Amino acid sequence: MKLSTKDMTRVALFSSLICVASLILKFGGDLLVPFSVLPFMVMLAGGILGPRLAALSVAIYVLIGMLGVPVFAKPPFGGLTYILQPSFGFLPGFILAAFFIGKFLEKISSEHIIKYIGAMLLGIAVIYIVGIPYLYAIVKFYLGKPFSLWKAIQIGMLPFVGLDILKGVLAALLARAVQHRLRC
**Measuring CA to CA, which residue among 1, 43, 27, 33 is closest to residue 14?**
43
How many Å apart are CA 18 and CA 177, to the nearest integer?
A: 20
All structural domains of the chain, each given as residue ranges with its CATH number in brackets, are 5-183 (1.10.1760.20)
pLDDT exceeds 90 at position 36? no
pLDDT tens across 44-71, in order?
999 999 999 999 999 999 999 999 999 9
pLDDT tens-digit map of 65-98: 999 999 987 778 899 999 999 999 999 999 999 9
Are 99 and 46 spatial neighbours (Cβ–Cβ below 8 Å)? yes
